[in-house]
Chains A and B, each alone.
Chain A
Amino acid sequence: MEHKEANSRKIKLLVNNVAREDTVPVDLRLADYLRDWLNLKSVKEGCGVGDCGACTVLLDGKAVVSCIIMAVEADGSSIVTLEGLAAEGKMSDLQEAFLAKGAVQCGFCTPGMIMTAAGLLAENPQPTAEEIKRAVAGNLCRCTGYQKIIEAVLYTAEIRNQKD
């Protein structure tokens, strides 16, 4: 997509493993780039100022809040959104665990929560409940009370470790 304004810059990045090249305004937030330009609507906006975690995506494997990062800052990086976790539309084990453990209610926090958990598990494949709590402490959920979310992440880790 082209955007003809003086204050635009070309960025190159991988989004869900697809190479992208776009010229974007310098004040375009990464969240808006993902939602509006690439139609990746799993990225939710709950606060827009980095407080709630609903817009969490992986940037080079690390969970970040995409509402306070500019698209231009993601130049050269690899971004994964919730859409990218489900290869060919098939749910990942982590998504399955969220579903099976009842960790989803209204679902609004869910994409961000799963992305944070995905980032944690990539870094620390056998987290304790305490470590999971600390990792998702930046992701607000008003529905669940978090208990079933923690269970889902623990369960995913357990299944993965059994497989290894």
Chain B
Amino acid sequence: MTYKHEGVGEAPLRIDGDIKVLGKAEYVQDLEYANLLEAAVLTSPYASAKILAIDVSGVWQVEGVKAVVTGRDVDGLYGTTVQDRPVLARDRVRYAGEPVAAVAAINKAAAMLALTKIRVEYEETIAVFDPEEAAGMKEDKKTVPLLHENLMDYEREITAMPVAGSNICSHFKLRKGDVEKAFSEADFVLEEEYEVPRNHHCCIEPYGVVAQMEREGTLHIWTCNQSPYVLQRNLAALFGLSWNQVRVTIPTLGGGFGSKIYPSLEPLVVALAQKTDHRPVRLLLSREEEFLRITNHGCKIKIKSGVKEGKVTARQMAAYWDTGAYADCGPLVARNSGFTFAGPYKIDNVKLDAYSVYTNLPVATAFRGYGIPHVTWAYELHTDRLAEKAGIDPLQFRLDNVIQTGDISHTGEEMQAVGMKGCLEAVAEAAGWQPGQRPAPVDLGNGRYRSLGVACSWKGSMRHYGSSATVRIMEEGSVEVNVSNVDMGQGSSTIFAQMVAEETGIPLSKIRVQHPDTFITPYDRTTSASRGTFHAGTAVMEAAKDAWRQIQEYGAQVFGCRPEEVKSSEGKVLNPKTGEGLSIGKLINQAVMGGIDIIGKGHSRMKGGTGLDKETGQGANPTSFWMYAADIAEVETDTRTGELKVLKIYAASDVGKAINPVNCRQQIEGGVTMGLGIGLMEEMLFDEKGRLLNGNFHDYKIPTAVDVPEIIPLLVEVPHPLGPYGAKGLGEAPVGPAAPAVANAVYQVTGIAVRRSPLRPENLKLSWQKGKEAELRD
């Protein structure tokens, strides 16, 4: 085999690509077990109700039933930021779809039949669905039912800042400068409201879990989860086990996008497994159930800005995040989108309030971008209105206002390696939009126009959390990389392998990256916040360097030279004196008579991270790195029907350093498509009782091949001083600007501002009508 260097900056084929195109990749639904039991879950039909009685005795009439659980069988509460969630509902239900009882049986049909034998007596109570109303902030509706009367008694993380006696599970504040003064001195002030409804991740793989209490006392769980160690620790706490007794194994994931980040139904399956004789219990959700398991947040945003001499001088915003019946990571979404909330602009006076609010809807969780698509929708549509009022081209207005290296952010951080301007310039050049000279809409006849719109966005990752990795080089020269970052399709395992190839010179074909398994692969906090390449990547790079250093030491010993003189060449270790290459196996053999593996260890440990002040949101280093993205959309609008055709999206992302450029483009193309989906097409619809109306793919439409425009991905590289090889993260940033860029292109033609996403033809026409009415009334 000829040697091929496939290190950093190159674009080798995905290392897991062959098994995937051959149909051999194993997802949870493909795993086989002996004595498997299938689970089925009975859920609440009410959004808010008391449970008066549950009678499960009927399930035993069904042949093959082996276990049944209700909320009374499982103690304890769990949750990511606030421990507010029972494994199954106890005395009350808080959303339609909440698990109330579960059964395990020898097959799915028996389990489903058994559910029909369970009798639950409910007493319906008043529900609340609108987050602003639930927060008690609507003037006309000040008294609202409380979802969690004991909110202040729950265990919680410091990032959750609940408000006593309310449904607000967290209130994030940011205060900088003096907005009132700046508003009074501004040339003009503009105040608007925006809304993004709930939408869904829609991984094509539905959620699945298998749990088994093993005879040796360990709990083994196979699940499609993005954060094996968070799950391990939650399960250990809930079921009274030590961390080293909980084994979380992650097979191939069929997408994640945030929906698989935190524990959701895993505890319920463990509760069932505990009631069996060490049998594996499997829960595979139907698509309908998956829609209710977890969703994206809905959000209402109020935004007010002051502009003076073409510069945004003040911004005040409030966001009401609908986190659903349990907090999950809602407080963190409010916080992490909170400190980026005012947009990638240098603004000296900022006042932000972000409320994470309980409602009687399904639990909302992380979604690719962690709130950024919502806030970008608001501040980027708003930015175009500001530019218009200021009489400045919207691209120029952005270039004049965006944050740059050396500027101080809204939280007081001195920004480094900022690629925001670079992204705007890249899309502008590609689309042929000269700053200051926005192309006029092209009249295509019959009321149709073609126009361009621009939008940009930034995204902080999260505060630094550790990652560890080991790289084991075996004597034959093959390598195993142990890291708990989950490859859910973003291609992280290929990136890690490239890093190892870069550091050791070992060809990619000899490098295998393990599936995460808490009994095997070392700690990593989460696969989220676009942190994989940056953090887990740093750990892998360090581990590979450590392994290579050991090889150099053996080389020095065998060749009689200094360690740093030992180089790799075509997968072999080069004798600097003779220029001859020695295989790693032979080298180890000559040095220590063989029989060992070389194990390199690496950690990503970063210093200097800060929290954010509880009252002011100030903190000099709240995130380990930032990402930047900008899009220009070319759109055809039919002003008679409101129909839109997105023709092209030019999409730039500042990736720091493209470890694998093809992979980067995949992230951009996929991210833009997702952004267009949630911004132009998708919306979860609930009836007046809080019941989901469109929990399936025929009523909830995600983009198909015919819906997607041409996407032109552009890579901007402003290297990060702490990132591996200069890399930043990438996964989330491309989702934000796509739909706002489209909306801004449409606005240029129609002049009618749309506030609520998704921007569907019927919504555009509605706004249009409203706009006309307003005009008539004025």
Picked from B18, B254, B705, B711, the residue with its CB within 8 Å of the CB of A149 is B705
Known contacts A49-B287, A146-B708; A104/B17 CB under 8 A: yes
Closest to A95 in B: B21
A38 interface contact, C-beta 8 A: no
The count of A-to-B residue pairs whose CB atoms sit within 8 angstroms is 160
| Per-position binary interface string of chain A over residues 98-131, scored 1 when its CB falls under 8 Å from any chain B CB and 0 otherwise | 1110101111111100100000000000000000
Contacts of A147 in B (CB 8 A): 669, 708, 710-711
CB <8 Å contact, B21 and A105: no
State the CA gap A114–B25 with chains docked (Å).
15
State the CA gap A48–B204 with chains docked (Å).
11
Closest to A133 in B: B705
State the CA gap A51–B490 with chains docked (Å).
24
A154 interface contact, C-beta 8 A: no
Known contacts A51-B697, A142-B257, A147-B711; A108/B205 CB under 8 A: yes
Picked from B26, B30, B666, the residue with its CB within 8 Å of the CB of A148 is B666
Interface of B is mostly: loop
State the CA gap A32–B69 with chains docked (Å).
28
| Per-position binary interface string of chain B over residues 479-507, scored 1 when its CB falls under 8 Å from any chain A CB and 0 otherwise | 00000000011110000000000000000
CB <8 Å contact, A114 and B21: yes
Closest to B13 in A: A99
In A7-56, the 8 Å CB interface with B consists of 40-42, 44-49, 51-52, 54
CB <8 Å contact, A104 and B287: no
Contacts of B20 in A (CB 8 A): 104, 107, 110
Closest to B649 in A: A145
Pick from A68-76, A79-87, A156-164 the stretch touching chain B.
A79-87
Pick from B300-308, B670-678, B720-728 the stretch touching chain A.
B670-678
Contacts of A110 in B (CB 8 A): 20-21, 23
A134 interface contact, C-beta 8 A: yes
User: Nearest-CB distance from A103 to chain B (Å)?
Assistant: 9
Closest to A144 in B: B670
CB <8 Å contact, A41 and B26: yes
Known contacts A133-B706, A142-B202; A44/B16 CB under 8 A: no
Closest to B25 in A: A107
CB <8 Å contact, A145 and B18: no
In B661-719, the 8 Å CB interface with A consists of 662-663, 665-666, 669-670, 672-674, 696-698, 702-706, 708, 710-711
CB <8 Å contact, B21 and A98: yes
Closest to A96 in B: B21
B1 interface contact, C-beta 8 A: no
A138 interface contact, C-beta 8 A: yes
Picked from A41, A98, A102, A142, the residue with its CB within 8 Å of the CB of B674 is A142
Closest to A42 in B: B23
Closest to A89 in B: B22
Picked from B23, B491, B665, B708, the residue with its CB within 8 Å of the CB of A41 is B23
Contacts of A82 in B (CB 8 A): 22-23
State the CA gap A111–B254 with chains docked (Å).
12
B206 interface contact, C-beta 8 A: yes
CB <8 Å contact, B18 and A140: no
State the CA gap A96–B696 with chains docked (Å).
32
A132 interface contact, C-beta 8 A: yes
Contacts of B19 in A (CB 8 A): 107
User: Nearest-CB distance from B672 to chain A (Å)?
Assistant: 6
Closest to A134 in B: B706
CB <8 Å contact, B672 and A145: yes
In B32-86, the 8 Å CB interface with A consists of none
CB <8 Å contact, B22 and A95: yes
Contacts of B696 in A (CB 8 A): 47, 49, 51
Closest to B20 in A: A107
State the CA gap A140–B30 with chains docked (Å).
20
B14 interface contact, C-beta 8 A: yes
Picked from B13, B204, B489, the residue with its CB within 8 Å of the CB of A52 is B204
Contacts of B22 in A (CB 8 A): 42, 82-83, 86, 89, 91, 95
CB <8 Å contact, B669 and A47: no
Contacts of A141 in B (CB 8 A): 204
CB <8 Å contact, B286 and A111: no
CB <8 Å contact, B697 and A104: no
In B189-226, the 8 Å CB interface with A consists of 201-206
Contacts of A48 in B (CB 8 A): 286-287
State the CA gap A139–B674 with chains docked (Å).
16
State the CA gap A4–B710 with chains docked (Å).
54
Extra pairs beyond A51-B698, A104-B21, A144-B673 (20, CB < 8 Å): A41-B24, A41-B30, A42-B23, A49-B696, A49-B697, A52-B287, A91-B18, A96-B21, A106-B205, A106-B254, A111-B23, A137-B706, A141-B204, A142-B670, A143-B255, A145-B672, A145-B673, A146-B708, A147-B711, A148-B669
Q: 21 pairs across A/B with beta carbons < 8 Å?
A: A41-B26, A44-B204, A47-B206, A48-B287, A52-B287, A81-B23, A91-B18, A99-B18, A100-B13, A106-B204, A107-B21, A108-B203, A108-B205, A140-B704, A141-B204, A142-B670, A145-B711, A146-B708, A147-B708, A148-B669, A149-B705
Q: A-B pairs with the 4 shortest C-beta distances? A: A42-B23, A106-B489, A108-B254, A107-B20
